Chain A
């Protein structure tokens, strides 16, 4: 399958490592073939015309020029190909990305929180329940502000910078941010989505090759943007279990060792505003009492 992606490879696209990635590559590949055909077709015509109709060869122009309707056919075929790509591939593909999430019990569910300039990963631990997060509880050692009194949070795993997931299991990521907009981009997995403060954006993928994959921050987020690196390590299931156990032992203390320290890194702090956009105000993590704003 991957060998079909000739132009993409030729242009340097790294090999795909996720289940759906082939489809992304294919649409990109088709688009490139299509563009290539148009480009070389027109270029050939263009070069021919420039040479054939240069003044020294053709001193007198023909007022009427081309009389056939050939360009209409050409334009029609462009429309047709674009329509096929759009209706046949692009729209269904996106629908699959955003409407058909795998069932939670089969998947690894991770909350990912961006901040200037690193990523924090929050996993629910063995009980499958995320602990409550409260903005007031954010400290250096509790970067997400997990409520220590919430039983669901006791076994939660919080890691900074590096996430491990097992190969061949879907991963569902729910993205948010503490400060500005970031973008969680995994080029090898052919997946990316914005991390926007105040909202929770889900995305999913299924890694099919073990390895270490860089997470790029794909949205300008300040001076350390260029170094806002994360790592997703795709493990064989056994290694993943070992990692999980290791992390689970640390859980409760929630001391997150930081992976590759990002340049200009800030002390960690804070939780995303709202876990669930539809939440009731009672649960709304609140800003602490403030001195009034100017004029107040």
Chain B
């Protein structure tokens, strides 16, 4: 038994089956990420002043990853076009390039960006203690200029044992540069390049601390959405890479020899998915890295 319109198009719709299928699937993906982004909006609107961090992510790396995804989007259409022109070799190379792009993207995410977060700590101060640490926060000037107050001091935790050990009375934080010179207006906007914590150590008494957390999902609504959305996006990238690897392996050659158009259709369908993943990233990048 043969199912009609798997390769050729149905005259009255002008489409083959998988093309409709993938677009329907993408429509549901739009709703999925729509749900996540509406949660993002909701949480961000709800955030108390000072609770939504800015400029904590590594912009150059994020920009690079954005560029990588864009390039992979180009290579994947080129791969498809190559198939349409019946140039299997070109297809093979473009596909390989796409896969490499996806792998690099994931690698950067999993082995560079995420781990970096877990080593960074934020100390939330009790409202009553904000005055005391004014030298690090610079809230007087900020209030004057109508900016949100800072309620958190962040950097490298030099005595991690303090978290567990009640006999240690203070945290030693190797400050992020912003807090070393809080009143310098150039520090008001996020730095472009990643600036590692300084060796300026601030001592913060536990008495004054509301809570201390590393920059994991538990840190704040911001990091919770960052990890969830980029995690889910990463899972999509991974899925795409796996499918592309399958279509790049020798089995694809067999299909190509039997029916090149069938392979081209499959690449088109998976390409559509890949472009969508790229498209999501286009929104994720500015929302989390830049703003």
Contacts and interface: CB of A to CB of B under 8 A. Distances in A.
A291 B163 contact: yes
A282 interface: yes
A293 B219 CA distance: 8
A50 B209 CA distance: 76
Interface string B81-111: 0000000000000000000000000000000
B214 interface: yes
B151 A281 contact: yes
A288 B129 CA distance: 13
Given A280-B49, A284-B48, A292 B127 contact: no
Interface in B146-179: 149, 151, 163-164
Contacts of A294: 218
B130 interface: yes
Contacts of A290: 210-212
A286 B210 contact: yes
Contacts of A295: 118, 214, 216, 218
Interface residues of A, number: 16
A296 B163 contact: yes
A293 B218 contact: yes
Contacts of B218: 292-296
B216 A296 contact: yes
B163 A286 contact: no
For the complex of A and B, list the 5 residue pairs with the smallest distance between their C-beta atoms, beginning with the closest: A293-B218, A282-B127, A290-B211, A296-B214, A286-B210
Given A282-B127, A286-B126, A292 B118 contact: no
A160 B109 CA distance: 52
A65 interface: no
Contacts of B48: 281, 284
A238 interface: no
B275 to A, nearest CB: 34
Contacts of A292: 163, 211-214, 218
A296 B161 CA distance: 11
Interface in B194-224: 206-207, 209-214, 216, 218
Interface in A57-90: none
A1 interface: no
B286 interface: no
Given A291-B163, A292-B163, A293-B218, A281 B49 contact: yes
